[in-house]
Amino acid sequence: MWMIVQTRQVRHEWHGLEAGGWRLEARSAVVSPGVLVCASLLQPPASSFQPGAILLTPDVVSWTDGGCRGNPGPGGWGMLLVNAASRDCLERCGGERTTTNNRMEITAAIMVLRSLKKPGLTVVINSDSQLLIKGATEWMRGWKARGWRRKEGELLNADLWQELDRLMEVQSTTWKWVKGHAGDPGNERADQLTNRAMDAVQAGQDADWTNRTTWTGRLG
């Protein structure tokens, strides 16, 4: 599975062994004083290597989704969080009476990172939202440097982007775009959770829902 890597103020040390054109590497990443994160990476031959993309074994794999009926209107978010080693899975969803699609997409990612109980984990967040992924990996640094504003002026959902930025400082976060409604099991489940939340909001019920299960789908 190919992933876009987002790192924040991290010092990397690389040790590798190359054989048959493939390169197996171990990474030590110091994310803050006293916190050391290690991950193994497998890189393909140079002929097929994509700049900025690596293969890694994460601690946690997650999928997120957000939606809105009306935009603005009643909306919901859904996420599932899978322990890559044990396959233990946390599912959550929630919603708001009046919101937007983008706010729900960002909120879902925030809820993933808030659900993690310890810092320094390697986390993959799968999303079908280009805005969420580009915001987190490409645009956020510029917004932050301008006091959480765009070049053109006001930054929408600045409160959520700031919270996401704060949480990303705590974990080693990797973002991966997945095509929506294309058969990816995690994406499909996140969509189901989002619709569950929107249904509850529209029915005047509590949209917050949590479930623990075992994940049997693929992780990448």
167/208 same-domain check = yes
∠ CA 91-94-100, rounded to 5°: 125
> Which residue of the set 120, 128, 184, 186 is catalytic?
128
Residue 66 annotated as catalytic: yes
Residue 128 annotated as catalytic: yes
79/187 same-domain check = yes
pLDDT in the model for residue 59:
97
pLDDT in the model for residue 112:
98
pLDDT in the model for residue 220:
79
Q: Tell me, yes or no, whether 219 lies in a domain.
A: no
50/110 same-domain check = no
Q: pLDDT tens for the chain, 220 residues: list them.
A: 333 344 443 333 333 333 333 333 333 333 333 333 334 344 333 333 333 444 468 999 999 999 999 999 999 999 999 999 999 999 999 999 999 999 999 999 999 999 999 999 999 999 999 999 999 999 999 999 999 999 999 999 999 999 999 999 999 999 999 999 999 999 999 999 999 999 999 999 999 999 999 999 999 7
Strands 88-99 and 3-5: unpaired
Q: Tell me, yes or no, whether 137 lies in a domain.
A: no
Q: Tell me, yes or no, whether 114 lies in a domain.
A: yes
Q: Domain tally for the chain?
A: 2
40/105 same-domain check = no
Q: Tell me, yes or no, whether 178 lies in a domain.
A: yes
pLDDT in the model for residue 117:
93
Q: What does residue 136 show for φ and ψ, rounded to 5 degrees?
A: -75, -30
Residue 13 annotated as catalytic: no
Q: Which two tokens stand for residue 57?
A: 């074994």
38/108 same-domain check = no
197/116 same-domain check = yes
Q: Is the full-model pTM beyond 0.75?
A: yes
> Which residue of the set 59, 65, 96, 184 is catalytic?
65
Q: Tell me, yes or no, whether 165 lies in a domain.
A: yes
> Which residue of the set 59, 91, 96, 105 is catalytic?
105
Range of the domain at 65: 60-132+149-214
**Cα atoms in the 13 Å half-sphere on the side-chain side of 32:** 8
